Chains A and B, each alone.
Chain A
C-alpha cells in the first residue's frame, strides 16, 4: 500500500486538527524507501530532477494565517445569481431605470451571443428592497432575510472577476483554475495538499440539488470535481439523493451483510502475500469499503439531529436532494472528517423572468446557507471550516429582452460579482471591494478568480505557488500562472 495514504489515515485518529504542514510531510514517499541508501538515492533523485511534490517543499517566504481551516464547504450556485438583486446594493439605479447603459462601460467586457446584438441595453434597477443587517451594517436584499441574521459572520467580496462568460467554461475556471477541461478541481488540490482525515468516508464529497426555478439546463460536468492529472484517489465522490447515495454502495440481491462479511475475509486472506509494483487494494481499504455501507446510511439519516437543528435549516431539510438537506449533510460530513464538501445548486440562469424566478431560488438557499453558518458556529466547527458561497459569474445590470415586459432577465456578467466567505481565518463582518454605480466593473480592489482561489488555499495553510504538480513537463497549480492572497480578507 502506498505509504502516503497510510500516513494520512494514521494521522486522522490522533489529530483531527492536524496542521497542514505536518500532515503533508512525507507525501509521495515511494514504497522502496526503506533503507538509508535508498533514502540517499531518493533525495538525490528528487533534488536533481526538481521533482519534489509541492506539498513536500518548505513553505518558505510565505506566512500562513494564524488560524487555519481544516475543511471546506463550497456552495456553488450554478447558473449565476444576480449580485444586483442579492448583495451589491445600488440605490441610485432606481433613478436610472430604463436609461441606456453607457456604451463605453458596456463594452468594457465581452457580451455573450444572447445580448451582444440586442440593440438596446437599458438599465434595470433591482425591484427588491435592501436593508442593513447586524453590527457590520451589511446591505442585503429582502430575498435573503436569514443570511441577514448571520451577516456579521460573513465576509462579502463584491469584486470577484472572471474571464469566462459561459457556464461550462466559467464553472471550470472557478473550480479548476482553467476554462478548458483537464485540470484537477480545487477539492482535489486541497486533498492532495492536506490528505484525508476520515477512514470511512471519501475525503472529497459532492452534493447536488436542483432549484425551484430549474427547468432543465445548467448541467454538471464531472471534471468540476475531477482529479485531472492527479492520481484518481483525489477525485470527488458525488453523493446522490436516491436509494444509492454513493456509487456501488448497494449490495446485490442475495448477498446480505453477514454473508458479505465472510466473503470479504476470504478475499482479504487470498491477498495475503500478494505483491505488486503498483498500488494494490489493502485490507484496510476493503474494510473501509465494507464499513461505508453502514457509515453512509448513518450519515444520511437525520434521526440524531435535534428538532431545533432541523428547524434551523427550514422545512426543506427533510427532503433528500434539497439544498437544505445538502447543507445539513455538509455539516455532518465535515464533522466526520471530510476534507472538502462541494455543493451545487442549479437553476439560477435567469435570462428571462428573473424577477419571478430569483425569489424562488433565493428561498431555496437563504435559510439553509444561513443555518449552516450558524450551526457550524454553535458547534465550534466554524473556526476550522471555511464556507464559500459563490458562482461562475454574476448578471448584467442591463436587461435581456424588453424592459417593458414583466418577463425580462439579465445576461451573464464577468466584470464583477459577489462571493461570500465565512469561517476559518476569514474576517467576519467584512465587505471587500467596491463596484461602480452599475455593478459592472470593480473600481476598488478587484479579486480575480485566481486571487480568490489563492486566498481559499491560504485559509487552509496552503501556499498556492507551492502547491504544484509536475505533469507533461510542467508544474501545474490551481492558480495557473496568477493568483495573489488577499490578506485583507483574513484575520491576521
Chain B
C-alpha cells in the first residue's frame, strides 16, 4: 500500500480522494473473524528502528514515525505550543493538577535548552504523579469502598488503592505490577505487598442479598475477573463467549471456561460481604498492635501458670477435699439458681420457673412422660419459641443443661438461637454437636462428641462455654460426665450475638430443620458450672441405674480440683476474672485488625466446567486452565496456573499485552489511542493508525523493563505531544479527528482533575495522601433515599470535617450503588464493572453542579482571601487571579468582563450586606474571616466565575 500512499501524497490535488481511499483500503484489508496466528495484535512485534532519515525528528524517535506519516499524507503539522500552554498541559497530564503561578514563571524564565525536560522530570518525581496515574487504574479495576448489591455496605480496600498510587510513584515495573496483582499470592518469594496487590481481583461487588444462591454469586465474581482481565490486559471482550462461541472473534465457549478456570479456585464464598471484607483476607502489618497482643498473651500465660499452681497447691485444697469426701456434698447454690429453668409440666405449660417467660409452640408438640414429671415432645415439624432469652455473646460464659431423648438419627437442633449469627446444640447422627457462629463463611467454631450415643433413651446433656472464643473452651457432658470431643472448626473471631429468639428443637423460626424427640428440665446458666456441679445436676433427677454414682465422683481428682478452683477458692475467682479480661482484650485487638481482601487458592482444586448457556447450575464438559488460542499467536504455551498466566502475560511471548498497555499510555496523552477502538483489539475493532509506532512503543516497554515513567517521559517530550492545539480550519479539514497527530487536542479535564484543579489553583487543596475514603460535599440525602438501611455501614452520608472535604478527588469514598455525584456527572464510571475508557459529555446538570457545589465557591473564597491580603492593587490582583486559575494573564476584554462583575457584585453586596455575611457563613469551613466582607464577597464571586469558566475546565 505504500506506493499508493506515496503516489497520492505527491498529488495534493487528490488529497481528499486518497484519504478516503486509503481509509477504505485499510478497512477492507482487515482480517475477517477468523483471526488466527496472523492477527496484527498478536503477531510478533515488528521492531524496526524509527525512520532515521527524517530531519524533523528533532526531539525523539516517536516523531520519526509520526512525521513520516504526516509527510506521506501531505499534512503540515502545527508548531510547538507556547510555553504557558506547554506547562499547563504537561502538568495537568502528569499530575492531574495545574501548575502554580510560581512554577509557570520559573519555567518561562528557564532559558536552558532542556528546560522542558527538566520540568517533565520534576513532574514525574512528584507524588501527585502516582495519584494521577492511579485514577484510570481504579476505573479499570472497578475499585470502590463498598460491596455493591443490596446492602452496599462499606469495605476496607483503600490500602490496595494506596499501594497502586505508591507503585506508580516508585516506578514499580509494569510487569511486576501485573504479576503481583494477578498472582502475588502464588509467587514463591512473594512479599506481603505482593499479596496486597492481589486485591485487584477482589474489587468486584459482593452479594449478600438474603435468599441469593451462593454458587450463582460466586460464578458472577469469576465472570467479572475474566471480563476485567481480558479487557485490561488484552483489550478483548470475552463476555459473549460466556454463553456461546464468540460471534466475531475466534474465541470459543470452551476457551472462555478454560480462562475462567484460572479464577475459579479462589477460597471464597459467593454469599458474602455482610461485614465489609470477605474471605480470603490478609491482615495488614500493624507492629503496634502486634506488640500489644504479645504483651497481653504474656499476661495470660502468667495467670494460667498461677491458676495451675493454685489448683495443685496444698493445704487449702487438701482440707476442702477431706471435708468433701466426708460429707459427699457440695453447695447447691449455683446449681439451684439457673437464669432460666423450664420444667415442661403439662399443668403449667411451657413456662420458666420465674413465670416470666412463656414458650410459644409452633407446629405440633405435646407433653409426655419425662424424667421429672412431664417433658415436651417435638414431632420433627414443630418448634417452641422461648423468646428473647439466653442472649449470650462471644465473651459470655454459659452452661445449658437438659435431659433429652432423641427419636431420630440424622440431624436436628435441640436448642438453637442462630440465623446469621448465634449458637446451637444439635443432634447429629448420634453425636452432640455445638456451633458458635459469628459468620457461617468460616468465622465460627464447631465441636462434636467423638462417641456416638443411641437414640431412643434419655440422656442428660450439658454444654458449657467459658467465653474464650476457642473450641477448647467448649465442653460437652453426657450423663454428668465430660466426653471427648473433636474440633471441627475453631475460627470464631467475632460476636455471635443473635437477634433471633431462643428455640427448642430448631435454630430459629426461619430454618427448616426440626427435632424429633423429647426434652425435659431445660436449665440455662449465665456462668460456667463445674464438672462436679453438672454431675450433681444430672444425679438430682437421675433416671439411670444407681450403680455408677459415687465411685465416679470420689475417684476423679481432676473433677474435684476443678470444682475447688472454680467455686471454693476465692483467689481463683480473682485470677479467672482477670483472665477473662485479658481474653477480651486480646480478642478486641484482633477484631478490628485492618484487613484487605486478597486472592488465595483453595487446597482442594475446584473443578471447572463449561457452563451451558453460562448458567452456574448447568455444568458441562470439564476443562483445564488455558488461554484462548487467539491470544497466543504463533506461540502456543502451557500455562497451568494463575502465576504462569501472569508471567506469560508480560513475557516477550505475548506481544498483545505489550501493545495494549503501550497503546493505553499513548491515549493518556493524546486523548485517542493508536488503535481508535481502545477497548477492542479484536476483529470488530479498528487496526492501529501507526502500527510501526505502536510496535516500537510496545517493544520499548518489553526491552526497557516495563518502565512506565520512562515511556511517559518519552511520549511527553516528543514534538507530537508538544504541538499547538489551535487547529486551523484547513487542518481540521485535513485531519479532523487528529488521527495523524498533526496537532494536539483540547480536552475537557477528567472529573477528578476538574475538581482538584479548582482546589489546587485556589490553595484549598489538602495534599495529604492515602488513607480511608473521605466525604466531601454532596447533596443531602442522596444515600439515605436509596440505601438499604438496617445495621449496615455506609447507608447515610456525613460530610467530613476539616481538610478531608478538600482532598484530591480520588480519595472520595466510592459507594458503588450511589457513586460520588459530582464525579458521576462529569462522566466518571460507576465502578460496577471494569471500564477502560471515559466518554466526555456536556449536560445542564454539570452546569448546575458548577454553579452550586459549595466546593467551588469555597475555593473561590479562599483565593479571594489570599489575594486581598497579598495584592493591594485591584488591577494586579485581577491578573494574579488569572495566573492562578488559567496560568496566563487576562486579555483586555477579560479584564473588563471580570472587572465589571466585580463592580456589579461589589455594589450589590454593599446594598445587601446580609448576603455577604451569608457567604462568609457558607465558606466558614475554610476558615475565612475577611476584614472587608463586601469586597471579599465580590472577589469571591468574580473568582468563582473564572474558576468554572470553560477554559478552566480544559487541558490545552
Does the CB pair A246–B951 fall under 8 Å?
no
User: Nearest CB to that of A258 among chain B residues?
Assistant: B908
B786 in the interface (beta carbon within 8 A): yes
A105 in the interface (beta carbon within 8 A): no
Among B514, B839, B843, B948: residue with most chain A CB under 10 A: B843
A110 in the interface (beta carbon within 8 A): yes
User: Nearest CB to that of A41 among chain B residues?
Assistant: B20
Does the CB pair B817–A256 fall under 8 Å?
no
Cα A424 to Cα B466 in complex, Å, equals 69
Q: Per a CB cutoff under 8 Å, which of B249, B827, B915, B948 touches A254?
A: B915
User: Nearest CB to that of B779 among chain A residues?
Assistant: A247
Residues from chain B with a CB closer than 8 A to the CB of A263 are: 901, 905, 941, 944-945
> Which of B147-155, B299-307, B402-410, B653-661 faces chain A?
B147-155
Does the CB pair A281–B918 fall under 8 Å?
no
Residues from chain B with a CB closer than 8 A to the CB of A119 are: 381, 512-514
Does the CB pair A48–B840 fall under 8 Å?
no
Q: Per a CB cutoff under 8 Å, which of B151, B746, B848 touches A246?
A: B848
Kindly provide the distance from the CB of B789 to the nearest chain A CB, expressed in whole angstroms: 4
Does the CB pair A472–B24 fall under 8 Å?
no
Residues 662-695 of chain B: 1 if any A CB is under 8 Å from the residue's CB, otherwise 0? Answer: 0000000001000001011011111000000000
Interface residues of B in 354-389 (CB under 8 A from A): 362-363, 381
Residues 832-849 of chain B: 1 if any A CB is under 8 Å from the residue's CB, otherwise 0? Answer: 110100011111111111
Does the CB pair A232–B747 fall under 8 Å?
no
Does the CB pair B824–A232 fall under 8 Å?
yes
Residues 320-340 of chain A: 1 if any B CB is under 8 Å from the residue's CB, otherwise 0? Answer: 000000000000000000000
Does the CB pair B825–A474 fall under 8 Å?
no
> Which of B89-97, B211-219, B324-332, B699-707 faces chain A?
B211-219
Does the CB pair A248–B209 fall under 8 Å?
no
A112 in the interface (beta carbon within 8 A): yes
Q: Per a CB cutoff under 8 Å, which of A41, A166, A250 touches B852?
A: A250
A103 in the interface (beta carbon within 8 A): no
Does the CB pair B841–A233 fall under 8 Å?
yes
User: Nearest CB to that of B951 among chain A residues?
Assistant: A274
B55 in the interface (beta carbon within 8 A): no
Cα A249 to Cα B781 in complex, Å, equals 13
A366 in the interface (beta carbon within 8 A): no
Cα A351 to Cα B509 in complex, Å, equals 12
Interface residues of A in 189-232 (CB under 8 A from B): 202, 208, 216-223, 226, 229, 231-232
A60 in the interface (beta carbon within 8 A): no
Instruction: Report the contact-size class of chain B (Cβ under 8 Å from the partner).
Output: 35 or more
Cα A404 to Cα B23 in complex, Å, equals 75
Does the CB pair A289–B851 fall under 8 Å?
yes
> Which of A30-38, A370-378, A449-457 faces chain B?
A30-38
A58 in the interface (beta carbon within 8 A): no
**Residues of A within 8 A of B (CB-CB), count:** 104
Does the CB pair A242–B150 fall under 8 Å?
no
Q: Per a CB cutoff under 8 Å, which of B686, B830, B842 touches A181?
A: B830
Does the CB pair A117–B231 fall under 8 Å?
no
Cα A212 to Cα B79 in complex, Å, equals 68
Among B19, B152, B833, B847: residue with most chain A CB under 10 A: B847
Cα A250 to Cα B778 in complex, Å, equals 12
Does the CB pair A1–B16 fall under 8 Å?
no
Known contacts A262-B901, A278-B747; is-contact A254 B918 (Cβ 8 Å)? yes
Residues 134-174 of chain A: 1 if any B CB is under 8 Å from the residue's CB, otherwise 0? Answer: 00000000000000000000000000000001111100000
Kindly provide the distance from the CB of A156 to the nearest chain B CB, expressed in whole angstroms: 27
Does the CB pair A256–B915 fall under 8 Å?
yes
B591 in the interface (beta carbon within 8 A): no
Residues from chain A with a CB closer than 8 A to the CB of B151 are: 219
A412 in the interface (beta carbon within 8 A): yes
User: Nearest CB to that of B831 among chain A residues?
Assistant: A181
Does the CB pair B214–A271 fall under 8 Å?
no
Known contacts A44-B23, A219-B150, A255-B941; is-contact A281 B28 (Cβ 8 Å)? no
Q: Per a CB cutoff under 8 Å, which of B746, B830, B919 touches A223?
A: B830
User: Nearest CB to that of A230 among chain B residues?
Assistant: B839
Residues from chain B with a CB closer than 8 A to the CB of A250 are: 779, 852
Kindly provide the distance from the CB of B784 to the nearest chain A CB, expressed in whole angstroms: 9
A401 in the interface (beta carbon within 8 A): yes
Q: Per a CB cutoff under 8 Å, which of B20, B736, B845 touches A247?
A: B845
Known contacts A238-B785, A244-B781, A254-B921; is-contact A262 B249 (Cβ 8 Å)? no
Known contacts A110-B213, A267-B949; is-contact A277 B908 (Cβ 8 Å)? no
Cα A60 to Cα B832 in complex, Å, equals 35
Does the CB pair A233–B848 fall under 8 Å?
no
Known contacts A267-B949, A279-B748, A473-B249; is-contact A402 B150 (Cβ 8 Å)? no
Does the CB pair B832–A181 fall under 8 Å?
yes
Cα A270 to Cα B954 in complex, Å, equals 13
A131 in the interface (beta carbon within 8 A): no
Q: Per a CB cutoff under 8 Å, which of B509, B912, B945 touches A401?
A: B509
Cα A256 to Cα B922 in complex, Å, equals 13
Interface residues of B in 228-254 (CB under 8 A from A): 231, 236-237, 240, 247-249
B818 in the interface (beta carbon within 8 A): yes
Residues from chain B with a CB closer than 8 A to the CB of A220 are: 785-786, 817
A128 in the interface (beta carbon within 8 A): no
Known contacts A216-B788, A252-B922, A473-B237; is-contact A114 B842 (Cβ 8 Å)? no
User: Nearest CB to that of B380 among chain A residues?
Assistant: A119
Known contacts A45-B23, A280-B748, A472-B237; is-contact A254 B788 (Cβ 8 Å)? no
Cα A243 to Cα B782 in complex, Å, equals 12
Cα A285 to Cα B816 in complex, Å, equals 28
Does the CB pair B848–A41 fall under 8 Å?
no
Does the CB pair B832–A223 fall under 8 Å?
yes
A264 in the interface (beta carbon within 8 A): yes
User: Nearest CB to that of A182 among chain B residues?
Assistant: B833
Does the CB pair B937–A254 fall under 8 Å?
yes
Cα A427 to Cα B104 in complex, Å, equals 68
B287 in the interface (beta carbon within 8 A): no
Residues from chain B with a CB closer than 8 A to the CB of A237 are: 845
Kindly provide the distance from the CB of A453 to the nearest chain B CB, expressed in whole angstroms: 18
Q: Per a CB cutoff under 8 Å, which of A40, A233, A270 touches B945?
A: A270
Does the CB pair A252–B852 fall under 8 Å?
yes
Does the CB pair B919–A253 fall under 8 Å?
yes
User: Nearest CB to that of B919 among chain A residues?
Assistant: A254
Does the CB pair A411–B27 fall under 8 Å?
no
Does the CB pair A277–B738 fall under 8 Å?
yes
Residues from chain A with a CB closer than 8 A to the CB of B782 are: 238, 240, 247
Q: Per a CB cutoff under 8 Å, which of B231, B509, B842 touches A2?
A: B842
Cα A286 to Cα B857 in complex, Å, equals 17
Kindly provide the distance from the CB of B760 to the nearest chain A CB, expressed in whole angstroms: 20
Kindly provide the distance from the CB of B184 to the nearest chain A CB, expressed in whole angstroms: 26
A92 in the interface (beta carbon within 8 A): no
Cα A260 to Cα B852 in complex, Å, equals 10
User: Nearest CB to that of B152 among chain A residues?
Assistant: A219
B interface vs A, CB < 8 Å?
A: 16, 19-20, 23-24, 27-28, 148-152, 205, 207, 209-214, 220, 223-224, 231, 236-237, 240, 247-249, 271, 362-363, 381, 509-510, 512-514, 617, 671, 677, 679-680, 682-686, 725, 732-733, 736-738, 745-748, 778-782, 785-790, 816-819, 821, 824-827, 830, 832-833, 835, 839-854, 857, 894, 897-898, 900-901, 904-905, 908, 912, 915-922, 937, 941-942, 944-946, 948-951, 953-954
A interface vs B, CB < 8 Å?
A: 1-2, 5, 30, 32, 35, 37-38, 40-41, 44-45, 48-49, 110, 112-115, 117-120, 165-169, 180-182, 202, 208, 216-223, 226, 229, 231-233, 235, 237-238, 240-244, 246-256, 258-260, 262-264, 266-267, 269-271, 274-282, 285-286, 288-290, 292-293, 351, 401-402, 404-405, 411-412, 470-474
Besides A277-B738, A289-B847, 4 other A-B contacts (C-beta < 8 A): A166-B150, A223-B817, A231-B827, A277-B725
* 6 A–B contacts, CB within 8 A, in A order: A41-B736, A169-B212, A259-B908, A259-B915, A262-B904, A281-B850
9 closest cross-chain pairs (CB), A and B: A254-B919, A473-B680, A181-B832, A112-B211, A289-B847, A271-B950, A219-B788, A254-B918, A270-B949
